[in-house]
Amino acid sequence: MLRHCAAIFDLDGVLVDTAKYHFLAWKRLAGELGIEFSETDNERLKGVSRDESLRILLDVGGLQVSATERTALAEKKNCWYIERISQLDESDLLPGASEYLAKLRAIGIPIALASASRNARTVLDRLKIAHFFSATVDGNQLSKAKPDPEIFLLAAAQLGHKPAECVVFEDASAGIAAALAAGMFAVGIGQPTALASADLVVPDLAHCDIFQLFGDGIIGES
- Strand order from edge to edge, sheet including 185-189: 135-137, 111-114, 6-9, 166-170, 185-189, 200-202
What is the structure's pLDDT at 117? Answer: 87
Q: Helix or strand or coil: residue 8? A: strand
67 and 145 in a single domain? The answer is no
Indicate the angle between helix axes 150-159 and 173-181, nearest 10 degrees.
60
What is the structure's pLDDT at 4? Answer: 86
What is the structure's pLDDT at 115? Answer: 94
pTM of the entire predicted model: 0.83
Interval 75-91: pLDDT, tens:
999 999 999 889 999 99
For residue 220, the number of C-alpha atoms closer than 13 Å in the C-beta half-sphere is 0
Contact 135, 159 (CB under 8 A): yes
Decide: residue 200, CB within 10 A, 0-12 exposed, 13-18 middle, 19+ buried.
Answer: middle
114 and 186 in a single domain? The answer is yes
Q: Residues 44-66: what's their mean pLDDT?
A: 89
102 and 210 in a single domain? The answer is yes
Among 68, 85, 102, identify where a domain stops. Answer: 85
CA–CA gap between residue 127 and residue 84 (Å, rounded) = 14
Among 85, 100, 126, identify where a domain stops. Answer: 85
Residue 80 in any domain: the answer is: yes
Whats the size of the chain, residue-wise?
222
99 and 194 in a single domain? The answer is yes
98 and 194 in a single domain? The answer is yes
pLDDT score of 207 more than 60: yes
Determine which helix (DSSP H) or strand (DSSP E) holds 156, and give its type and residue range: helix 150-159
105 and 161 in a single domain? The answer is yes
What is the structure's pLDDT at 216? Answer: 62
> Catalytic amino acids?
10, 12
Number of domains in the chain: 2
Contact 1, 103 (CB under 8 A): no
Interval 99-126: pLDDT, tens:
999 999 999 999 999 998 888 999 999 9
10 and 39 in a single domain? The answer is no
Residue 219 in any domain: the answer is: no
pLDDT score of 20 more than 70: yes
Residue 133 in any domain: the answer is: yes
Which residues form the domain of 146? 6-16+92-214
100 and 68 in a single domain? The answer is no
